[in-house]
Amino acid sequence: MTRERFIYGLYDDDEKMVAGIKALQAKGIHVRDAYSPFPIHGLEDVLGMKWTRLAIAAFLYGITGLMLAIITINYMMIIDWPMNIGGKPNFSFTENVPAFVPILFEFSVLCAGHGMAITYLFRNMTLPGLPARNPHPRTTDDHFAIEISEKENTKFSKDDLWKTIDASGVVKVFEKDRITKFI
pLDDT single digits (tens) 27-60: 999 999 999 999 999 899 999 988 888 899 999 9
Q: 89 near 95, Cβ under 8 Å?
A: yes
Going from the C-alpha of 54 to that of each of 13, 62, 121, 157, 175, the distances in angstroms are 30, 12, 13, 37, 31
Rounded to an integer, what distance in angstroms lies between the CA atom of residue 20 and that of residue 143? 14
pLDDT of residue 110: 97
Residue-wise pLDDT for 56-78, tens only, equals 999 999 999 999 999 998 888 88
pLDDT of residue 31: 93
* Of 156, 143, 123, the residue nearest 30 (C-alpha): 156
pLDDT of residue 113: 96
Mean pLDDT of all residues belonging to the chain: 87
pTM of model > 0.85: no
What are the chain's domains?
A: 2-49+142-181 (3.30.70.790), 54-123 (no CATH)
Going from the C-alpha of 122 to that of each of 32, 125, 141, the distances in angstroms are 19, 5, 25
pLDDT of residue 91: 67
H helix intervals, the chain: 14-26, 43-47, 54-74, 101-123, 158-166
Which stretches of the chain drop beneath a pLDDT of 50?
Answer: none
